[in-house]
Amino acid sequence: MLKTFRVDLHIHTCLSPCADIDMTPKRIVQRARQEGLDIIAVSDHNSVENFPALAELAEGLTVLPAMEVTTSEEVHLLAVMPDYEAALTLQGRIYSYLPIEKNSRLHFEQLVVNAEGQLVHFNERSLIEPVDMTVEETVQFIHSLSGLAIASHIDRELYGIINALGKVPEDVDFDALEISFRTSPEEARKRFENYRHLPWLWSSDAHHIDQIGRAFSSFLIERPSFDEIKMAIKGLGGRKVLP
Ligand SMILES: [Zn+2]
Ligand SMILES: [Zn+2]
């Protein structure tokens, strides 16, 4: 039987240099439960290293591995992956473009933590930097690993695809478009009329704990899993993203 589930596929942790240091696995899971979310994705910039800690705490909450990739055009793409192994393969490719920078101060703000929130190590790569992959190459690579490729916050100037490229290119095979909490569904219908052929997702893009819950999407699916999310995005088996 199909039911409605609340989904937020875009939450940063203390591994993202721009996110609060108290975006620890425990606090994120607690807050997501309080906000009535059923499925969340951990989507740090160019890295998936804090996924295991969140997955360990999940209990009842479904946590998916994801990553927000900065492409060579400085566009943010959300890669939601079917499992940790696929996410690690994507991370391996991404990391090949992001060398370790031992003397950078940035890594003090990039914390890989365990489920208790204790520091495991600092990530010594500049995770905020663009990688040497275009939007098209990134989408293709995500698809080769059976992941979902979603253009992040298309309504935003900063790192949004429309501002960077002038439009969402027709020849790039996106699975969905994400719209930020800043733009209401009514406003989105006016602004993004040309892109009605793709599902629209709202997510929190939370960098601070109280931002979790400020936006989410409702999915009509059978159970909270990656496969069901994918079916809804593809419009298969009666599954769908609710407007
Ligand atoms: Zn972004
Ligand atoms: Zn983000």
Domain ranges (residues) in the chain: 3-241
What's this model's pTM, rounded to 2 decimal places?
Answer: 0.97
Among the bound ligands, the one closest to the CA of 13 = 2
237 Cα–ligand 2 center, Å: 30
- The Å distance, Cα 1 to ligand 2 centre, comes to 33
Determine the distance separating the centroid of ligand 2 and the alpha carbon of 75, expressed in angstroms: 11
- Sequence-distant (6+) residues with CB within 8 A of 95 are 46, 47, 125
Q: How many Å apart are CA 80 and CA 68, to the nearest integer?
A: 9
Instruction: Check residue 43 and give its pLDDT.
Output: 98
What are the φ/ψ torsions at residue 82 (nearest 5 degrees)?
-65, -30
Beta strands in 81-226 (DSSP E): 111-113, 119-122, 148-151, 176-179, 200-202, 217-221
CATH fit for domain 3-241, picks 3.20.20.80, 1.10.3720.10, 3.40.50.150, 3.20.20.140: 3.20.20.140
Residue 170 alpha carbon to ligand 2 centre in Å: 23
CB 178 within 8 A of CB 159: no
> How far, in Å, is the centroid of ligand 2 from the Cα of 46?
10
Beta partners for 148? 80
Mind listing the pLDDT tens digit of every residue in the chain (243 residues)? 999 999 999 999 999 999 999 999 999 999 999 999 999 999 999 999 999 999 999 989 999 999 999 999 999 999 999 999 999 999 999 999 999 988 777 777 999 999 999 999 999 999 999 999 999 999 999 999 999 999 999 999 999 999 999 999 999 999 999 999 999 999 999 999 999 999 999 999 999 999 999 999 999 999 999 999 999 999 999 999 998
Q: Which of the ligands is closest to the CA of residue 44?
A: 2
What is residue 15's predicted lDDT score, i.e. its pLDDT?
Answer: 97
Residues with CB under 5 A from ligand 2 (ion): 68, 205
